[in-house]
Structure formats: C-alpha cells, structure tokens
Structure 1
Amino acid sequence: MSQTWIILGATSTIARSFARLASDSGDGVLLAGRDIADMQATASDCAARGAPLAEVIAFDARDAASFSAILKRASDIDGTLSVAVFVGSMPTQDAMDADPSLIAGTVTDNFTGPAIFLTMIAPILEARGNGTVVGVGSVAGDRGRIGNYIYGAAKAGFHTYLSGLRNRMGRKGVHVMTVKPGTVDTAMTWGMEKLPFLAQPEKIAADILRGANGQKNILYTPLIWWPVMTVIRLIPERIFKKLQV
C-alpha cells in the first residue's frame, strides 16, 4: 500500500532532507508551509526521485484557517497517510526577555499550532487504522535551561501532547513518534557559539525516517543526546539551578 507524508514546515532544512529520503523510498509527499516557491522546488526534486505524489499546499501554524484545505486534501489521498511535523521557531531567550510579545508566537509555532492541526487530522488517520505521526520536538524540552527556557517549555508541552496522542492513536493502529534532536546545522542555529554535537540535517532526517519505519516511540538524534539528557535530567535542582547549561 502506498504511503503519503504530509510534511508540515516543509521549508525547514531537515524537512527538505526528509521529503527527499521519503521520495527515494517511493512515498508521496504533500509539502505544507508558507513559502510556496521554495516548496515547489522541493516538490519537483521529490517527483524526480520517484515520489508518486509531490504537491504543495499553504500552511501557517499561526493561522488555523489554513488547516482546512490540508484536511480536505488529506481525505482525498488514497493509501496510508502519515504526518511529519517540522514546524518551529526559536527566538533567543534574550530577545523574548526584552520583548515578551514574542512568547505567544514561539509557543504557537512549537506547540499549540501543531497540536491543533494534529487534533483535527487525528480522526482521519484513526478511521484508516494505519499511518504514522512524527512530531519533532527538542532536547531543550527535557529540562528548563537558562539559555532557552521559553522555547524549551513550548517543546516540553509538545512532547507531553505527543505522549498522550500516542496513547490515544496507538489503540487505533496509528503510531506516534516523538523526536528530540540536539543541535542541528540549520538556519535556527547559524551564528550561535559553543554548540555541542552539532549534526547535519541529512543525518537527522535519515534517523527520523528510520525511526518511523521501526515504530520507535521516542527518538533522540544523534543518539549521543540520550545519555547526555539522562544525566541532565538527574541533576538535583539545587545544583542544576546554579549551572550554565
């Protein structure tokens, strides 16, 4: 049975790599995002790689009115339907401290917007009884750190949402995977200093597709972040609050 991925935030560097790899595997892609011209270029590449469906559609996490057209198109697609969420934004903590109005958009991009969309599409996936939902969070959501705790809080909320969605949808044959990448060489991190274990987006995308095919529940990528975050989570709060991590 053919599979089509709805890829939200399809203009992100990791999402582009994921779309190409999915196309190489013979999957279709419905690329959803704000920059139509950018996505059309990716769609052409995906079609050349063998994707049986390679389309673009407008999506804005901050505009729920944009969701209905995707839901309608999803209902018309035959075969297995899966969703991968790469949506996100990351203003610096300093910027949000100086301008708290940035917080609402950060939370919408990283948590509430994707959560609303997934809640709306969940009945469509459950009715088919198959498919996968991939939600890309961040290791920043594992513990509040001084340098990015608002962004981390949004990702933590998304992690918890995905955990509940996994509990719900797994009973209907739909698998939900939470992805926790570390630092990745993308536009989000350009210009930042002291980024440990910096990974290339192609590596992250390959790990995500492999994890989805293997029905992993939670994926740290690169894998080094699993022991690193395990240690960070275990540090007592009285010590952690004094650390610059």
Structure 2
Amino acid sequence: MTDTWIILGATSAIARAFIRKQAEAGAAFILCGRDIVDMEATAADATVRGAPEATVMPIDMRDAATFDAVIEAAKCLEGTINCAVFVGSMPDQAEIDADPSLIDGVVTDSFTGPARFLTMLCPVMEAREQGIVVGISSVAGDRGRLNNYVYGAAKAGFTTYLSGLRNRMGRKGVHVMTVKPGPVDTAMTWGMKMPAMTTPEAAVEDILKGVQKKRNVIYTAKIWFPIMTVIKLIPEPIFKKLSF
C-alpha cells in the first residue's frame, strides 16, 4: 500500500527537499500551499523522481475554510496517511514592534493554523491506527529572545501542541515527531547573519533519520541541542541582559 504525505507549506525550501527524498522512496503526495504554480512544478518533479501521484491543493493557514477540501481528500486515500507541517512566518521583530497587528498572522501561520488543521486530520489518521506527523517547530520556541520573541512564542505554542498530540495519537498507533531547526538557509533567513546555519537538505536528512528511529523531538543541526540546553539554563536575571 502507498504511503501518502500531506505536505503543509509545500513551497518552503525544506519541504521541497523533503518531497524530493520521499518521492525517490516511492511516496505519494498532497501538496498544500498558496502558490499553485510553484507547487505544480514541485509535483511534476516528484513524479519524475518516482512518486506514483502528486496532487496540488490550495490552502491558507489564515483561512480555515480551505482546510475542508484537503481533509475530505485525505478520507479518500488508500494506504497510510502521513502529514508534514512546514508552515510559519517570521517578520523582523522591529516590524512587529512598529505594527503589532502582524502578531496575529505570525501566530496563525506558525501555530494556530497548523494546529487546527492537524486537529481536523487526527480522526482520519487515528481510524487507520498508523501514520506519522512531522511538525516543524523551532529552537526559537525554547526561550523568549529579544530579537524574535513573537515568533518564538508562536513556535513554543506549537511545540506544546505537538507534545499533547503525540500523547493522544501515540495511543492509536500514529507517531508525532517535533523538529526544532536552528537557522536554515532559506528565504526566511536570507540576508541574516545567524550562527550554525544548516541547509534544507541536511535538515531533511536529520528529519528522515528521526522518523526512522521514531524520535519524539529532534534538533537540526544537532549542535542546537547543547546550545539550547545551555541557553535554557541561563538564570533569568542574566538572560534578560543579553542582547541576542
């Protein structure tokens, strides 16, 4: 039976790298996002690489009405249903400070939108008692930092949601893995000077290894686990004086 991956945020660089690898392994796809032309190109590439099917469906995390068609399509799939969430938005904190209305979009894109979608998809996956959910969170959610605390807060919420979802769906044979990337060389981080930056391809290698070993939480690149362990241990009186 075919494994089908529902990909939220199929136009992201990490998603494209993930789709390429899974297509070569024979997976099918429902690619979800806002840029139909971009996703059609990715779907065509996936088919060439070995995917038996790659369907494109429009979806917008800020418009929950767009979720319904994808959920209905999932109900009609044969075989195992998996879902990988690559959505999120990260305006510069200075932009948010200047226009607090941007907070709503960040939280919807990075937390409440994907959480709502996954909550709707849960019963479909649980009924089959198998499948994998890969949720992309961020190291930014491990502690509120001066330069991106709104984005970090949204990803912290998504991390906690995925933890609860793992508890729920694990009882029905569905594994949920949380991925906490550090900076990845994508359009979101273009032009930023960031430490220990990795590539989409390297991040996907870590993700697939984590899926194979059924990890609950992974960091990519792995160096971010000890980095964030140290950062989380810094006492608050000291931490709030730091400028990063």
User: TM-score under structure 1 normalisation?
Assistant: 0.98
Shift of 1:201: 0.7
Shift of 1:219: 0.7
Shift of 1:212: 1.5
| 1:151 matched residue in structure 2 | 151
RMSD: 0.7
The answer on 1:54 being equivalent to 2:54 is: yes
Shift of 1:15: 0.4
| 1:9 matched residue in structure 2 | 9
- Give yes or no for contact 1:22–1:209 (8 Å, CA) kept in 2: no
Shift of 1:127: 0.2
Q: Which runs of 5+ in 2 are unaligned?
A: none
Matched residues in 1 for 2:21 and 2:62: separation? 28
Matched residues in 2 for 1:154 and 1:225: separation? 19
Matched residues in 1 for 2:88 and 2:12: separation? 9
1:1-245 matches, cutoff 5 A: 1-193=1-193, 195-245=194-244
Matched residues in 1 for 2:209 and 2:38: separation? 26
Matched residues in 2 for 1:2 and 1:213: separation? 17
Matched residues in 1 for 2:175 and 2:202: separation? 22
- Give yes or no for contact 1:81–1:131 (8 Å, CA) kept in 2: yes
State the percentage of identical aligned residues: 64
Shift of 1:53: 1.5
Matched residues in 1 for 2:61 and 2:222: separation? 29
Shift of 1:213: 2.2
SS at match of 1:134: strand
Letter aligned with residue 43 of structure 1: A
Deviations 1:138-180 (A, max 9, x none): 0000000000000000000000000000000000000000000
Letter aligned with residue 62 of structure 1: R
After superposing the two structures, state which structure 1 stretch, 202-211 or 107-116, moved more: 202-211
Deviations 1:119-152 (A, max 9, x none): 0000000000000001000000000000000000
Shift of 1:44: 0.4
User: TM-score under structure 2 normalisation?
Assistant: 0.99
Q: Which runs of 5+ in 1 are unaligned?
A: none
Matched residues in 2 for 1:95 and 1:238: separation? 27
